[in-house]
């Protein structure tokens, strides 16, 4: 498939060259547009709700650099704070007051977090939390859910699907069987499956980790009682409950899904928004558990650039902006308008579709639905999504290049942006 209505000559040249330089031409796989087909766009700059490519085309952006840009790209206050911080240097590799400031903000915001450790990515946060879960409980097995993504560490790359799930077979070449043999999986929203795993593995399960609202299998919400049920089951079995809020933290609500749904896990991982667009991750939770992390305790985890002053500065400024009154009301209002609008035009133009939003996270599946888990999500028409994606892109709307990703809005998206997006979607969907 080629672009028909936008000129992408420079994107094509740069991406062609990139393919000889980097595997697939990218630094992270989804960016190569493999699952939607067609020419990836090479970006030049971002501002507010918009991105511009190297050919000068402008797009309304619903990827938001995969979540961090919740205040809008390159917010003047974030950029201003970064300029100031930059003058003092890029990295200290030693304690800085900025870490205290961001730590206090995170602890005040996220119900489960009494102490926090900063790292450089969501992957790192999830790797560390897993080691901590195992150390604290002195148990090795861990339950994750099919379709949930917790970064690319070996232990989390377990193929979704019940047969392989029991065997814990690795999802990628290069992952040793031993690394995933203690990773058990269950379908999302299936409490009975989790109960069965606990029954079969009595006193062996360190804990349960999940995306409390899923974004990595498309946008999937927890059914009533699911999060509460996991909280009860983990308590009952002396296991830990971990919410991976790398995507949802400070997006679904200031205090994340745990604030919104009133279920408090033992540990939480964060990333994306708390770095305001710079590389950051974090994990935190109960003080007794976090006190096991080195050098307070014996569980080793470290990082050369962890807590670096630029990332802390961007995070602090971003959270300050999010604290302003009305922020989350605005995000909910604008995102609901978008999600409802997309669904309505999909139905009116004769397509099977389902979807929705919570706060600034949304999704649209090309299936009549409902979508409760990854198996349901896989039934959607990914070919149609690819054509929809391309049509939107050609008309100036940048959606995540995969049916299995959630969409993100920001404080910079206006009513007009949403109206325009829905009008464009109507045009594209009418032509499919």
What residues act catalytically? 149, 244, 272
358, 369, 427: which is closest to 395 by C-alpha? 427
Alpha-carbon distance of 89 to 80, in angstroms, equals 15
We find the least distance from the C-beta atom of residue 371 to ligand PMP, in angstroms, to be: 17
Q: Of 149 and 388, which has the nearer Cβ to ligand PMP?
A: 149
**359 is a site residue for ligand PMP (CB under 6 A):** no
Longest dimension (CA), the chain: 61
Q: Of 82 and 247, which has the nearer Cβ to ligand PMP?
A: 247
Helix (H) / strand (E) element for 398: namely strand 397-398
Stretch that binds ligand PMP, among 34-42, 43-51, 210-218, 369-377 (CB under 6 A): 210-218
**121 is a site residue for ligand PMP (CB under 6 A):** yes
| Site residue total, ligand PMP (CB under 6 A) | 16
Q: Are 281 and 118 in contact (CB under 8 A)?
A: yes
169, 151, 163, 290: which is closest to 211 by C-alpha? 151
In the block, residue with structure tokens 């305001």: 276
From residue 367 to residue 406, the character string flagging contacts with ligand PMP as x (rule: CB under 6 A) and all else as - is ----------------------------------------
- The tokens for 90 are 């890029």
Phi, psi values for residue 116, rounded to 5°:
-140, 150
Q: Of 215 and 284, which has the nearer Cβ to ligand PMP?
A: 215
Between the two ends of the chain, the Cα-to-Cα distance in Å is 14
Alpha-carbon distance of 315 to 277, in angstroms, equals 8
**208 is a site residue for ligand PMP (CB under 6 A):** no
Q: Are 338 and 409 in contact (CB under 8 A)?
A: yes
We find the least distance from the C-beta atom of residue 28 to ligand PMP, in angstroms, to be: 7
We find the least distance from the C-beta atom of residue 432 to ligand PMP, in angstroms, to be: 28
From residue 54 to residue 93, the character string flagging contacts with ligand PMP as x (rule: CB under 6 A) and all else as - is ------------x---------------------------
Q: Of 127 and 346, which has the nearer Cβ to ligand PMP?
A: 127
**212 is a site residue for ligand PMP (CB under 6 A):** no
**215 is a site residue for ligand PMP (CB under 6 A):** yes
Q: Of 122 and 391, which has the nearer Cβ to ligand PMP?
A: 122
Alpha-carbon distance of 30 to 84, in angstroms, equals 34
We find the least distance from the C-beta atom of residue 271 to ligand PMP, in angstroms, to be: 5
| Residue 203, phi-psi category: left (phi > 0), alpha (psi -120 to 50), beta (remainder) | left
- The tokens for 280 are 């950051």
**Burial letters for 180-214: b for 16+ Cβ neighbours within 10 Å, e otherwise?**
bbbbbbbbbbbbebbeebbeebeebbbbbbbbbbb
Q: Are 248 and 274 in contact (CB under 8 A)?
A: no
Member of 244, 266, 394, 417 binding ligand PMP (CB under 6 A): 244
We find the least distance from the C-beta atom of residue 304 to ligand PMP, in angstroms, to be: 16
Stretch that binds ligand PMP, among 122-130, 135-143, 325-333, 422-430 (CB under 6 A): 122-130
Interface with ligand PMP (CB under 6 A): 66, 121-123, 126, 149-151, 211, 215-216, 244, 246-247, 271, 281
């Amino acid at each position: 498939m080629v672009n028909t209505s936008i000129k992408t000559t420079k994107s094509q040249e740069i991406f062609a060259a990139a393919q000889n330089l980097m595997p697939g031409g990218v630094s992270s796989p989804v960016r190569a547009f493999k699952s939607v087909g067609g020419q990836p766009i090479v970006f030049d700059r971002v501002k507010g709700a918009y991105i511009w490519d190297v050919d000068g085309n402008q797009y309304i952006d619903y990827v938001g650099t995969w979540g961090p840009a919740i205040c809008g790209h390159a917010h003047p206050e974030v950029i201003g704070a970064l300029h100031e911080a930059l003058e003092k240097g890029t990295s200290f590799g030693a304690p800085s007051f900025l870490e205290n400031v961001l730590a206090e903000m995170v602890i005040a915001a996220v119900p489960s977090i009494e102490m926090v450790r900063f790292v450089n990515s969501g992957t790192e946060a999830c790797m560390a939390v897993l080691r901590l879960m195992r150390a604290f409980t002195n148990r090795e097995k861990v339950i994750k859910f099919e379709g949930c993504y917790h970064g690319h560490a070996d232990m989390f790359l377990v193929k979704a699907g019940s047969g392989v799930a029991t065997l814990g077979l690795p999802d990628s070449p290069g992952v040793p069987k031993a690394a995933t043999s203690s990773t058990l999986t269950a379908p999302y929203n299936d409490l009975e499956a989790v109960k069965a795993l606990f029954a079969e593995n009595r006193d062996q399960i360190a804990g349960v980790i999940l995306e409390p609202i899923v974004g990595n299998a498309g946008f999937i919400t927890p059914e009533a009682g699911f999060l509460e049920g996991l909280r009860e089951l983990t308590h009952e079995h002396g296991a830990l409950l971990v919410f991976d809020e790398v995507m949802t933290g400070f997006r679904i609500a200031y205090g994340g899904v745990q604030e919104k749904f009133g279920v408090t896990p033992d540990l939480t991982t964060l990333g994306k928004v708390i770095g305001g667009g710079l590389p950051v991750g974090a994990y935190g939770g109960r003080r007794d558990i976090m006190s096991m992390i080195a050098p307070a305790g014996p569980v080793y985890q470290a990082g050369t650039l962890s807590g670096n002053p630029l990332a802390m500065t961007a995070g602090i400024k971003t959270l300050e902006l999010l604290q302003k009154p009305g922020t989350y009301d605005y995000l909910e209002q604008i995102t609901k308008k978008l999600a409802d609008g997309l669904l309505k035009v999909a139905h009116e133009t004769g397509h099977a579709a389902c979807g929705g939003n919570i706060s600034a996270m949304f999704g649209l599946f090309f299936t009549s639905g409902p979508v409760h888990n990854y198996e349901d999500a896989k039934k959607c028409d990914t070919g149609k999504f690819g054509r929809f994606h391309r049509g939107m892109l050609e008309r100036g709307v940048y959606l995540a290049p995969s049916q299995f990703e959630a969409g993100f809005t920001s404080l910079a998206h206006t009513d007009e942006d949403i109206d325009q997006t829905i009008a464009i979607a109507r045009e594209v969907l009418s032509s499919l």
